[in-house]
Amino acid sequence: MSAMRDLYHFTNIRSARNVTRGKVNIIGVVLEHGFPRQTKGTDWYYFVRIIDETHHDPGLPVQIFFETMAKSPRVLSPGDIMQFQNVTMKVVGDDVCAVYNKKYSSFALYNGSDGSVPYQTSERFRERDLDKRFVTDLRRWFRDFPIDQGRNDISIARNLTEGEHFDLFCKVLYIYDGAESQWTAFVWDGSDAPPANIHKKLSEEMHQPLALHVETFSLARDVVCSFPTLGTVLRVITQDIEPDFLPLFRTGSWIKLSNLLCELYDGLWRVVLTQYSRIRFASYGDRFRPEPQRLYDERLLRNPRSLRRMPQWSLPWPSRITEVDFDDDCEFHTLMDVVTSPEVMVGYKCVVRVVSILPCRAMDYHFPVGICKIRLTLEDPTTRIHAFLYAEDGLKFFEGSSSDEVLSGMRNALLGAAANIDGDEGEDTPRNPPWVQVCLRVKCETEDVLESREYMVFGTKLRA
């Protein structure tokens, strides 16, 4: 009878932290969770951190051990509710945690927003009528509870470093859940990811052009048009995570991703979720004003209006090696402004880096008027596009020069190439293109298809 009474008793998290002997039953909102991974022995391990109204900073870590991957809990989303029966409290280092024993502990997982039936339970779990009341009370409390991340806890895309592990506080914009290897989350924090050096040889552009985006699939135009047009939209991919445990992020929610791996792909940033990464809840939608959103709002208020949409990395002013027909006080636009704008054949002034040019040899820039077609690959923190120089716009861009030596020098300055790249010499030297001004206009055949839009450079001159 005593054991049965224990099953009907919940210990709140604050009280559970003071338990030094015996087992407890606890319930809380999942603030943070990881992914299942194998221990050094035969067991598997899963981590969650839960909170309730009695203890929510930093919450209670729960270490869960189980026999096989099939028995692992699967938290669908931070903010869901997790109930434990017969877990042991333990001091690990300087922290108190609960330990789930595969022989006698049990768990249940509930959707964080609605429903009274758990979406996953362990074999030994026994549901009780009182459980529904506790779940309802937790939802009601958590709905109006702001998660305090604190300024020292903020990580932003601006601080990305290749090859390093990183924490990111971001907003979920879209989830693409295609084939197993193509699960991709699109996230944003309002800051500009740093520009990267370009390592691909220019002579390879004809057969292996620089990628325009990290993903291998195409996004629908309405999806792209829903993305912010300022700041970097990062692609989050997975590595060594079983498909059944891919996270189900809620679009519009703010989350913190911990222990991400930063990579560069053709000079484009992507971040990788691994078995050692963790996902932490921040808030749903716009109910609260997370710190990255506040910093973004301050960015828009701090700069003069004409400069607000310039890349942060180009301040205080881009390189003077290009001149444009627009006045200096004319407002800048990002490349995403241009990509998502419904207007066509109007002019936009942008600050970009020219990361590639095709044809790559200066001698091929000699052309009769009306035949020229030169492709520039442009990027800013928001996206990367191809833009074309035609006829008189190409003549103006290169100031009508016919000297191979002069054209080579102009091209190298534009691409940030330190050496002559017409031949093999200097081809392996990374390029670091400067930020420059260009004028762009859009030609569009079919508005619903992104690939039907062609971008043209006009009104721009590259100074010799």
Q: Say whether both 108 and 158 belong to one domain.
A: no
202 pLDDT band, cuts 50/70/90, is confident
Q: Say whether both 403 and 367 belong to one domain.
A: yes
For residue range 289-328, what is the model confidence (pLDDT) as tens digits? 788 888 888 888 877 887 889 999 999 999 999 999 988 8
Tell the burial category of 417 from Cβ atoms under 10 Å away from its Cβ (0-12, 13-18, 19+): buried
For residue range 205-236, what is the model confidence (pLDDT) as tens digits? 888 999 999 998 889 999 999 999 999 999 99
Domain C-terminal end among 268, 298, 328: 298
Residue 199 belongs to a domain = no
Please tell me the predicted confidence (pLDDT) of residue 114: 87
Please tell me the predicted confidence (pLDDT) of residue 10: 86
Q: Say whether both 453 and 312 belong to one domain.
A: yes
Residue 216 belongs to a domain = no
- Structural domain range at position 327: 303-462
Q: Say whether both 272 and 341 belong to one domain.
A: no
151 pLDDT band, cuts 50/70/90, is very low
- Indicate the average pLDDT of the chain: 87
Q: Say whether both 188 and 96 belong to one domain.
A: no
Q: Say whether both 155 and 293 belong to one domain.
A: yes
Q: Say whether both 241 and 124 belong to one domain.
A: no
Domain C-terminal end among 143, 161, 179: 143
Q: How far apart are CA 135 and CA 115, in angstroms?
A: 9
Q: Say whether both 172 and 248 belong to one domain.
A: yes
Q: Say whether both 32 and 112 belong to one domain.
A: yes
Residue 118 belongs to a domain = yes
Identify the helix (H) or strand (E) that includes residue 96: strand 95-100
Q: Say whether both 53 and 21 belong to one domain.
A: yes
Please tell me the predicted confidence (pLDDT) of residue 368: 56
Domain C-terminal end among 243, 265, 298: 298
* pLDDT reading at 438 higher than 90: yes
Q: How far apart are CA 271 and CA 265, in angstroms?
A: 10
Q: Say whether both 320 and 267 belong to one domain.
A: no
For residue range 99-148, what is the model confidence (pLDDT) as tens digits? 999 999 999 999 988 888 999 999 989 888 788 889 999 999 988 887 75
Residue 253 belongs to a domain = yes
Beta strand ranges found along 359-414 (DSSP E)? 373-380, 383-390
* pLDDT reading at 413 higher than 70: yes
Q: How far apart are CA 299 and CA 191, in angstroms?
A: 9
Domains of the chain: total: 3
Residue 203 belongs to a domain = no
Residue 385 belongs to a domain = yes
Task: Pick the closest to residue 369 from 406, 404, 398, 410 (CA basis).
Answer: 398
Give the percent of the chain with pLDDT over 70.
Answer: 89
Please tell me the predicted confidence (pLDDT) of residue 424: 44
For residue range 249-292, what is the model confidence (pLDDT) as tens digits? 888 888 899 999 999 999 999 999 999 999 988 766 555 678 88
Alpha-carbon radius of gyration of the chain? 27
Mean pLDDT of 326-338: 91
Looking at per-residue pLDDT, the higher value among 373 and 197 belongs to 197
Please tell me the predicted confidence (pLDDT) of residue 391: 84
Residue 381 belongs to a domain = yes
The string over 256-268, giving b where at least 16 C-beta atoms fall within 10 Å of a residue's C-beta and e elsewhere, is bbbebbbbbebbb
* pLDDT reading at 61 higher than 70: yes
263 forms beta bridges with: 270
CB count within 10 Å of CB 450 equals 18
Please tell me the predicted confidence (pLDDT) of residue 367: 61
Q: Say whether both 99 and 23 belong to one domain.
A: yes
Looking at per-residue pLDDT, the higher value among 421 and 431 belongs to 431
Q: How far apart are CA 7 and CA 271, in angstroms?
A: 43
Q: Where residue 283 sits, what CATH number does that domain have?
A: 2.40.50.140
Residue 164 belongs to a domain = yes
